[in-house]
Each structure stands twice: as structure tokens, then as C-alpha cells.
Amino acid sequence: MTPPFLPFALPEIGEAEIAEVVDTLRSGWITTGPKARRFEADFTAFLGEPSLQSIAVNSATAGLHLALEALGIGAGDEVVTTTHTFTATAEVVRYLGADVKLVDIDPATLCIDLAQAEAAITPRTRAIVPVHYGGLAVDMTAVLALARRHGLKVVEDAAHALPSTHGGRLVGSFASDATVFSFYATKTMTTGEGGMLVTRDAALAERARVMRLHGISRDAFDRFTAKVPSWAYEIVAPGFKYNLTDIAAAIGIHQLQRARGFQQRRAEIAAQYDAAFAGLPLVTPPQPAAGDVHSWHLYAIRLADEAGITRDRFIEALFERGIGCSVHYIPLHLHPYWRERYGLRPEDFPHSQHAYERLVSLPIYTRMGDGDVQRVIDAVRAVLKG
Ligand SMILES: *Cc1c(COP(=O)(O)O)cnc(C)c1O
């Protein structure tokens, strides 16, 4: 009997999430309302910094767009980020008519190489967007120092990084201009689709709240009247439709309560993989500094050249054994849009290119039992020894 297919990722939705969604559906208020506000308050409490504001949005992509828009990024500006990411990190810069400066990764962390980021800065550079790849926090002390030296804004793409720490501080609580989390179905916690923009900048928060919902401002109306009637609002900008529904927030409230437990289970699986793969012809993922938390959104191995099998064939062989894998990422410099827009060549990004050709993301999620983990371990061993 062959066991059922083990997918690459699965969300873990419990009875509490389901009951909260049902409560929302019965309540009569299903779009942005009390549950979204509660989710935002809970998120700020989770980060443990009352000076932060959390703004719920319908995707991390939306949150990144809103953050850069609120910072005034536009035509003629440049934003530096890594080629080794999902296109959402960079596409939002293009929404605003600004240009993306892609740089290579540090092969030791698979995160942006800060020396190269610094070398890519020009008089037009306005911001840097570090990505906490796989859930390993970028050295934010170094990012913030670099940003201060060059007068740059910092927007963290923390789509993978709940909860992750650097120097004992949670990602989201650093002195960046904004940090954006994703609650997409495969992320460390989910609302189906959703995201959270976190900032300690009151003006950024206000602009993002207005632009999240059509550029509607009730406060603007307030300037002219003592009391704002319930029907009253003013449009102050051509905003977007990026609000999170209460149906989604209902899921998020309970996922957030379980986020630390989810991380512990993921860390357990990562430790089992680390131990089992020692001695095999592969590079296990970079570890966090002692005492730091890795969210383990991804467990991405790199096949060694001695493995004697191509990355693509390795993924096929695992698939034949009923195991789903993925690749994070096909770097941006290989995609036609980015390649052609900026004339990018693989040799400009040797570390990202080298990693890409060898990277395999193995299943790592809370619904995997010990038997599932063992199946992956056995399959990896069999394929690399066969
Ligand atoms: C998933 C992801 C995003 C986009 O998140 P959405 O919530 O799907 O918009 C952005 N950046 C990275 C690195 C991601 O993995």
C-alpha cells in the first residue's frame, strides 16, 4: 500500500477558527469591522510594542504597496531589494512608477547581501526592502545602520518571518519605517489571503489606513464639523481596495494565538531534518544565531554537486515517492519581465543563481506527524544514496 501523497504545504485550521468564522457570518458584519480591529490590536500586543500600529490588509502585497506609497516613493526613485524573492516584493515598486535595484544574496544566509546593497545605492535610491528569507531574520542592526548612513527608508518584507527574532527582538518591532507580514494559505499563519502592515510612524499609519480603503477619510470631514455624521466621509486620494474582511480576521485572531506553538512544531521538524541529513551530500538551511527564533516557514536544502543528481530530477524522485516539494525562488533576474526591463544576466547574481540551481524546499508544516517527517527523511536518503 502506498501512503497518500504528502503535499508541500497545508494550513492548520482548528475548531476555534471555524467557530469564530461562523460567529462572524451570523453577526451580520462580514467585511472590515470589529474582528479586524481586534485582530490588529492582538497583533500589536503579540509584537509587545504598544507604540506600534498594526493595519490589517488583504495581502502582504497590498501592505508593501501601501507602505511604499505612504513613504512617497514614486517615479524617478529607486528601491533596493534582493533578486532572491517572490515577485510581490519588487512589483509594488513598479506600481508606483519607481525602479527596482536587484542585488545578490549572501550565500551564508540566502538573504540580501548588505555590502552589495550599499554598492547599489545611487542618488536616486530612497528605500531598501530586506526579505527575511525562509524565516531567518536579516541582520536588522546592519540594515538600519546602512539606512541611516544613506538616508534610506526601510520596509521589511516579513512574509516569512512570524515569529522570527534578530538579537532577541521580534521582526516587526525594529525601528524600520514599516514591516509587512503575509497570511497567505502556505505561510506560518493564515487567513486564506491577508496581511498586516506594522509601523511606529503615525503619519505612515494614517496614510496607509486612508489608502487601504479608497482614499476615504472621515477625519478630513471632521475638520469642518464638530461631530461627523455616520454617513459622512471625504475622498482625499485615489486609494485602493486593500481592506481585510472580518471573515478573514476571525481566522487570524485564532491563528495568531497559536503562532508560537506552530513555530515550535516547525522548529522540531527542522531539527529532525538537520540531524537526519548530516553527512548527506546537501547543505542544510542556515541556522539563526544562538538564542534567536527562526520561524521555519521554509526548510530549503541545497544539493551538493557530489549528490550526483540534478535539482529537477531530485524533485521528480521525491514526487514519485509521494512527496511534494517546491523551489524558493526562481530568482527575479530569470523572469522575462525583470530580466528584460533591467537587462539582467545570471552572472550578475552568482550566489542567487548558484543557490537556485540546487535549492529544494521540503515539506515543513504543523500538520505533519512524526511519520510524515520520517517519510521525507527516508525518501531524501534513498534518492541521494540510490
Ligand atoms: C508570500 C510572499 C509575499 C506576498 O504575500 P501575499 O500575502 O500573498 O501578498 C511577498 N513576499 C514574499 C517573500 C512572500 O513569500
Q: Is the CB of 60 under 6 A from ligand 1?
A: yes
Q: How far is CA 362 from the centre of its chain?
A: 18
- Shared domain check, 164 and 47: yes
Residue listed under C-alpha cell 500586543: 45
Maximum Cα–Cα distance across the chain: 77
Q: What is the dihedral of CA 341, 131, 369, 312, to 10 degrees?
A: 30
Per residue in 16-25, pLDDT (tens digit) is 999 999 999 9
| Domain tally, the chain | 2
**Dist CA 385 CA 307 (whole Å):** 8
Residue minimizing CA distance to atom 1 of ligand 1 = 159
- Shared domain check, 253 and 264: no
Q: pLDDT confidence of 221, banded at 50, 70, 90?
A: low
386: pLDDT strictly greater than 90:
no
222: pLDDT strictly greater than 80:
no
Q: From the CA of 187, give the closest atom in ligand 1.
A: 1
- Supply the pLDDT for residue 2: 74
Q: From the CA of 61, give the closest atom in ligand 1.
A: 9
Examine residue 10 and state whether it is found in any structural domain, yes or no. Answer: no
1: pLDDT strictly greater than 80:
no
Mode of pairing for the β-strands spanning 99-103 and 153-157: unpaired
Examine residue 310 and state whether it is found in any structural domain, yes or no. Answer: yes
Helices and strands per DSSP (H, E), number in the chain: 14, 14
- Shared domain check, 269 and 229: no
Q: pLDDT confidence of 228, banded at 50, 70, 90?
A: confident
Per residue in 242-281, pLDDT (tens digit) is 999 999 999 999 999 999 999 999 999 999 999 999 999 9
Per residue in 233-244, pLDDT (tens digit) is 999 999 999 999
Q: Is the CB of 157 under 6 A from ligand 1?
A: yes
Tell me the whole-structure pTM to 2 decimals. Answer: 0.97
**Dist CA 339 CA 199 (whole Å):** 32
Q: Which of the residues are catalytic?
A: 187
- What stretches of the chain show up as alpha helix (H) in DSSP? 15-27, 34-47, 60-70, 87-95, 114-119, 140-150, 202-212, 218-222, 246-257, 259-277, 311-320, 336-342, 350-356, 370-385
3-state secondary structure of 381: helix
**Dist CA 288 CA 285 (whole Å):** 10
- Supply the pLDDT for residue 219: 73
354: pLDDT strictly greater than 90:
yes
Q: What is the CATH number of the domain that holds 329?
A: 3.90.1150.10
- Supply the pLDDT for residue 338: 98
- Shared domain check, 271 and 147: no
- Shared domain check, 41 and 93: yes
- Shared domain check, 209 and 295: no
- Supply the pLDDT for residue 218: 82
Q: What is the CATH number of the domain that holds 166?
A: 3.40.640.10
Q: Is the CB of 89 under 6 A from ligand 1?
A: yes
Q: Is the CB of 329 under 6 A from ligand 1?
A: no
Q: Is the CB of 159 under 6 A from ligand 1?
A: yes
Residue type, 109: T
Q: Answer with the one of 242, 257, 272 that is the final residue of a domain.
A: 257
- Shared domain check, 267 and 252: no
Examine residue 376 and state whether it is found in any structural domain, yes or no. Answer: yes
Mean pLDDT across the stretch 93-114? 98
| Mean pLDDT for all residues in the chain | 97
Examine residue 7 and state whether it is found in any structural domain, yes or no. Answer: no
Residues 6+ apart with CB under 8 A from 88: 59, 60, 61, 64, 159
Q: Residue 135: left if φ>0, alpha if ψ -120 to 50, beta else—which one?
A: left
Examine residue 355 and state whether it is found in any structural domain, yes or no. Answer: yes
Q: From the CA of 157, give the closest atom in ligand 1.
A: 11
Examine residue 265 and state whether it is found in any structural domain, yes or no. Answer: yes
Q: pLDDT confidence of 3, banded at 50, 70, 90?
A: confident
- Structure-model confidence comparison of residues 386 and 175, the more confident one: 175
- Supply the pLDDT for residue 125: 98
- Shared domain check, 252 and 380: no
- Shared domain check, 156 and 26: yes
Q: Answer with the one of 257, 283, 308 that is the final residue of a domain.
A: 257
Q: How far is CA 100 from the centre of its chain?
A: 18
Q: Which residues partner with 361 through β-bridges? A: 300, 326
Examine residue 3 and state whether it is found in any structural domain, yes or no. Answer: no
- Supply the pLDDT for residue 68: 99
3-state secondary structure of 54: strand
Q: At what angle do helices 370-385 and 259-277 cross, to 10 degrees?
A: 30
Give the residue among 353, 298, 92 at the shortest CA–CA distance from 197: 92
Examine residue 132 and state whether it is found in any structural domain, yes or no. Answer: yes
- Shared domain check, 246 and 200: yes
- Shared domain check, 219 and 117: yes
Q: Answer with the one of 257, 281, 316 that is the final residue of a domain.
A: 257
| Best residue among 8, 182, 328 to mutate for probing ligand 1, ranked by most atoms within 8 Å of CB | 182
Mean pLDDT across the stretch 341-354? 98
- Shared domain check, 283 and 140: no
Q: End-to-end CA distance of the chain, in Å?
A: 22
- Give the domain extent around 327: 259-385
